[in-house]
Structure 1
Amino acid sequence: MKTRIAALVMVGLLALYLVFAINYSFVLIGTGIVIAQVMGWALLVLPLIGLWALAAELFFIFRAERLFTMLRDEGTLPDEIDERRPSGRPDPDAADRAFGRYRDEAEASPESWRAWLRLGLAYDASGDRRRARWATRRAISLSRASTTAD
C-alpha cells in the first residue's frame, strides 16, 4: 500500500509540474520575441511527451493489475514464485527453480494470456524486470485480442 501511495504522490507532483511547464510555455509563446516563442514551443512539446509517457505507464499498470486480479480470483497464481525473503522481497532462487515450468507453459500455449502473465511474474520474481514487462505486455495484448474476438 505504501508503494501505491508513493506512486500516486509522484504522479500528482509530475502532473503539477506539467501544468506549470505548459502554462509557462504559453507565457513564452505570447511574448512576441522570436527566441522566447521557440523556447515556449519546445517547452510545450516536452511536457506533452512526458504526459503521454505517464498515461501509457498508467494504462499498463491498470491493465496488468486487472489481469493479475483475474488470475488471483481464479486461484491460478504461481505459488512457487511467491516465496519471500525475510525482507519481504521475492526469493529469486525459488523463482529460478520454477521458471522453466512457466517458460514451457508459455511456449506450449503461446495464445494464452494467463501463461504469459505467469511467465512475467516468474521473470519479475527472478529480478529480470525488462523481460517481466515484455511478457506482461504480451499477456495484456493477448487478453485484449481475446476480449475483442468474443
Structure 2
Amino acid sequence: MRAKLTYFVTAAVLVVYFFLVGSRGVMLIEHGTAITVTMGAAVLVLPLIGLWFLWANTRFVTKANKLAALLDAEGGLPVDELVRTPGGRIDRDSADAVFAKRKAETEDAPDDWRCWFRLAVAYQDARDTPRARKAMQRAIALHEGRQAGA
C-alpha cells in the first residue's frame, strides 16, 4: 500500500511539474520572437515525453498487478526460494538454481504467461531489473494474446 501511495504522490508531483514547464513553454511561444518560439517549442517537448513515460509505466505496472492478482487467485504466485545471507544479500548459488528452474519451466511452456511472470519475479528478486521487465512484458503480451519477442 505504501508503494502505491508513493507512486501516486510522485506521479501527481510530476504532472504539476509538467504543467508548470508546459506553461513556461507556452509563454515563450506567446512572446513571438524566433528564438523564444523555438525555445518554447523545445520546452513543450519535455513535458510531452514525461507524460508519455509516466503513462507507459503506469500502464505497465497496472497490467503486471492485474496478472499478479490473477495468478494469486489461481494459487500460482511464486514462492521466494532464494537463500539470503544474514545481511540480506541473495546467495548466488541459490539464485542460479531458481533461475534454472524458472527458465526450464519457461522453455517447457514458452506460451504460458504464468511461467514468464514467475521468471520475471525471479529476476526482480535478484535485482536484475532489465531482464525482469522484459520477462514481464512477455507475460503481459502472452496474456493479452499478442506475440512478443523472446
TM-score band, normalised by the shorter chain?
0.7 to 0.9
| Alignment correspondent of 1:69 | 69
Q: Which runs of no fewer than 5 residues in structure 2 stay unpaired?
A: none
C-alpha contact 1:80 1:95 (8 A) present in aligned 2 = no
Distance in 2 separating the partners of 1:51 and 1:34: 26
Deviates further, 53-62 or 94-103: 94-103
Amino acid at match of 2:112: S
Mark the CA change 1:22 to 1:133 in structure 2 (over 3 Å): closer, same or farther: same
Deviates further, 96-105 or 106-115: 96-105
Distance in 2 separating the partners of 1:71 and 1:113: 10
Amino acid at match of 1:109: A
Distance in 2 separating the partners of 1:98 and 1:57: 27
Distance in 2 separating the partners of 1:60 and 1:85: 32
* Percentage identity across paired residues of the two chains: 38
Query: How much is the aligned-residue C-alpha RMSD, in angstroms?
Result: 2.0
Aligned pairs for 1:139-150 (under 5 A) are 139-145=139-145
Once the 2 structures are TM-superposed, how far is the Cα of residue 22 of structure 1 from its aligned partner? Answer: 1.0
| Alignment correspondent of 2:34 | 34
Mark the CA change 1:95 to 1:68 in structure 2 (over 3 Å): closer, same or farther: farther
Mark the CA change 1:76 to 1:82 in structure 2 (over 3 Å): closer, same or farther: farther
Mark the CA change 1:128 to 1:54 in structure 2 (over 3 Å): closer, same or farther: same
Q: Once the two structures are superposed, what CA deviation does each residue of 1:13-57 show, in whole Å capped at 9, x if it has no partner?
A: 000000111111111111111101110000111110111011000
Once the 2 structures are TM-superposed, how far is the Cα of residue 86 of structure 1 from its aligned partner? Answer: 7.5
Distance in 1 separating the partners of 2:50 and 2:80: 38
Q: Which runs of no fewer than 5 residues in structure 1 stay unpaired?
A: none
Mark the CA change 1:82 to 1:4 in structure 2 (over 3 Å): closer, same or farther: farther
Mark the CA change 1:64 to 1:17 in structure 2 (over 3 Å): closer, same or farther: same
SS across alignment from 1:30: helix
Q: Is structure 2 residue 102 aligned with structure 1 residue 102?
A: yes
Aligned pairs for 1:81-100 (under 5 A) are 81=81, 92-93=90-91, 94-100=94-100
Distance in 2 separating the partners of 1:10 and 1:129: 20
C-alpha contact 1:80 1:98 (8 A) present in aligned 2 = no
| Alignment correspondent of 2:4 | 4
